[in-house]
A and B are shown apart, each in its own frame.
Chain A
Amino acid sequence: MSDDKFDEFLQRAARSYHEPPATPREEMWTRIEAERRVRRLAVPTQRHRWWLTATALAATLLLGIALGTWMEGGRGTTGSRPPTVAMGPFTTPAPSATTPVAAAPTARGGAASRAPAPHAAGSLTFDAAAADHLGRAEALLTTFNTESAHGTIDPQVGAWAGDLLTTTRLLLDSPRARDPRTRKLLSDLEVVLAQIAQLKSQPDSSSDEFEIIEQAVRSQNMMTRLRDATPPGSAALASGS
């Protein structure tokens, strides 16, 4: 018996497998419209989950305070600031007593040392905030990867992604976000974070959806790009914070 004959036989015989009836178009469309109306009405109820909003606001506020503190510190100590080291697309100053962002200066890729010009304080601040943020994103994706391997995602991971999504948007909207590589990375990250954040409202999320997200992370080389853009240790610090 040949494989070809069996394949032909199988394709013919399988046509009667779960043979669908005519599509009940109108019936389904009526239900779709009704269900969408119900879900639209349900949205304000979900928005009342104040703690999520409060967390997002707090994260935004903290970011603003951190940026302000950093800039103030930069103005007062420009002359005595220690040299910084370039790291991939970002340049992060060494931590000081007034530095709220945990980022150790470490040479990466053989980049040369250089001191920042006073007028570059805003860029440095943005770079530091972005590096810190990307470290947190790396920690989140690592956590997601670990949990999805076990088939379940803690709802807090979704909320965490939602918070990072807010910060990602803030960074993308910043006039300091001029570096094309940084912008591309933040844009790609935004999509992945949105997918993970979406899982929190879908308790039936399955390994297929996890796989789609993981594949997006893999195909875009996201982890490597995040690591390249993040000072060593930032992810660990971020996950522990």
Chain B
Amino acid sequence: MDETDLLTRARAGDPAAERALYDAHVDRVYRLAYRLAGSDDLAQDFTQETFIRAFARLGDFRGDSSFGTWLHTIALSVSMNGLRKVKRFRTREADLDEARDHGWTGRRAEPDLKQRLAAAIDALAPGFRAVFVMHDVEGYTHEEIGTALGIQPGTSKAQLSRARARLREALSDFAGEWTA
């Protein structure tokens, strides 16, 4: 069924349509929430709150952007507000034992490097981190990021560039990893 039809039915309170919208978007929302939070509990909380708010405000959705983009705007707002409160993600240690191989074509990253990289990403300012995670980790376009964060795509590009520069500086000890 077309998403527009689902939205119409969901606005009328059809639970099946709400569930269909949830199924279509929950993976991406949860992934983003998890990437930002680094914790399953927090990611679940943020995802749940995102859908609760979205369903409550479905009448406000005018279709100026796609439903997915609108949903991600809410998800980002919920996640960033939530993270400001708890700040637990900053002290979270990466579980190196469960680290998996994600398509390395060259050398595997050493545990030290992964830890340093995670710490460096965590240390980025919230706006830079959101742009970096959305673009470089989750593959969002600058247009999608701009809409979700309420900034221009050019600003998103600039923030990504600055985020990368800071990460490069933080990882300068590992220069051999990417120059090899």
Contact = CB atoms under 8 A, between A and B. Distances in A.
Q: Indicate the member of A6, A14, A25, A191 with the most B CB atoms within 10 Å.
A: A14
Contacts of A12: 102-106
Given A9-B177, A206-B77, A14 B137 contact: yes
Contact of A16 (B37, B52, B109): B109
Contact of B34 (A11, A18, A208): A18
Give the size category of B's interface with A: 35 or more
Interface stretch (A26-34, A104-112, A118-126): A26-34
Interface in B132-153: 132-133, 136-137, 149-150
Interface string A20-43: 110111011101100110010000
B26 A28 contact: yes
B14 interface: no
Interface in A21-68: 21, 23-25, 27-29, 31-32, 35-36, 39
Nearest to B73: A212
Contacts of A13: 109, 113-114, 117, 177
B30 A1 contact: no
B26 A211 contact: no
A11 B150 CA distance: 24
Contacts of B168: 6, 10
Contacts of B149: 208
Contacts of B34: 18, 20-21
A35 B53 CA distance: 11
Contact of A20 (B43, B76, B109): B43
A5 interface: yes
A31 B113 CA distance: 37
A215 interface: yes
A194 interface: yes
Interface in A180-228: 191, 194, 204-206, 208-209, 211-212, 215
B56 to A, nearest CB: 8
Nearest to A191: B60
Contacts of A23: 26-27, 30-31
Given A1-B178, A15-B137, A20 B31 contact: yes
Contact of B35 (A7, A20, A29, A204): A20
A121 to B, nearest CB: 36
A229 to B, nearest CB: 23
Contacts of B80: 206, 208
Contacts of A194: 60
B178 A206 contact: no
Interface string B90-109: 00000000011011111001
Contacts of B178: 1, 5-6, 8-10
Contacts of A6: 164, 168, 178
A241 B178 CA distance: 65
A145 B26 CA distance: 34
Contacts of B26: 23, 25, 28-29
Nearest to B84: A206
Contacts of A215: 150
Contact of A14 (B52, B136, B150): B136
22 contacts: A1-B179, A5-B178, A10-B136, A10-B168, A11-B136, A12-B105, A12-B106, A13-B177, A15-B103, A17-B35, A17-B121, A18-B118, A20-B30, A20-B43, A23-B27, A24-B40, A28-B30, A28-B47, A29-B26, A35-B48, A204-B85, A209-B81
Interface of A: 1, 3, 5-21, 23-25, 27-29, 31-32, 35-36, 39, 191, 194, 204-206, 208-209, 211-212, 215
A-B CB proximity, top 9 nearest: A9-B178, A20-B34, A18-B38, A15-B102, A1-B179, A206-B81, A23-B30, A5-B178, A20-B31
